[in-house]
Amino acid sequence: MSSLARHFQKAIHGTFDFPRAAASLQLAPFSTSALALKQMPPRPKPPPDHELEESYLKGSGPGGQKINKTSSAVQLKHIPTGIVVKSQATRSRSQNRKIARQVLADKLDVMFSGEQSRSAIVGEVKRKKAASAAKKSRRKYRKLEGAEEAPAGDAKDPEAAVPTDGDSDKGDPHTKGPADSSKS
């Protein structure tokens, strides 16, 4: 098969060969913000089992009879710090155990690392994104308000377009003013 025939076959079937150099490049994430390119700290590991006191409780709230009758809610107490975490996010005890351990690990990370903890950094990233979106929205609506005011503000004398109290009643036949009072 000639190279021209291979080229047309690739174009028809949508298969294209990329150079080997391009395949070895690592692509950046879809977001191009500096915050997204910053490396996030790893998720904190749950504490070892010997530091935990685990108990199973009957759940409450929505979820039906299964939640109220089975002991699927999990309560973990970190013995060295005294932090207590309860999870009844699902109807499964094993999933609630995983969730409770992760929540406890996050709380311990915040307690020990403070501003350098993963949840604090994620919160800061979210706050900056929200502030940026709000700023963009304000800029957009400010620009729209400026475009609406330009046609209305074309008159050279802004007070000439607004009638005064004395002028508005005299020439209008649909309003009751001094001109209409003689008809009554």
> What integer is the mean pLDDT of 27-53?
72
- Does 167 map to a domain? no
Give, as one character, the DSSP assignment of residue 159: H
For residue 144, pLDDT beyond 50: yes
Q: What was the pLDDT predicted at 184?
A: 45
For residue 142, pLDDT beyond 70: yes
- Does 98 map to a domain? yes
Q: Choose among 52, 67, 43: nearest CA to 97.
A: 52
Q: Do 83 and 58 fall into the same domain?
A: yes
For residue 16, pLDDT beyond 90: no
Q: Do 132 and 88 fall into the same domain?
A: no
- Does 106 map to a domain? yes
CATH at residue 101 = 3.30.160.20
Whole-number Å distance between alpha carbons of 33 and 19: 28
Whole-number Å distance between alpha carbons of 112 and 117: 8
Whole-number Å distance between alpha carbons of 31 and 132: 14
Give, as one character, the DSSP assignment of residue 62: S
Which pair of tokens denotes residue 105?
């690990």
- What residues form DSSP beta bridges with 85? 76
- Does 16 map to a domain? no
Quick check: 101 and 76 in contact, CB under 8 A?
Answer: yes
Q: Do 109 and 69 fall into the same domain?
A: yes
Q: Out of 31-40, 68-77, 98-107, pick the least confident.
A: 31-40
Locus of tokens 């993963």 = 118
Residue-number span of the structural domain to which 84 is assigned: 49-113
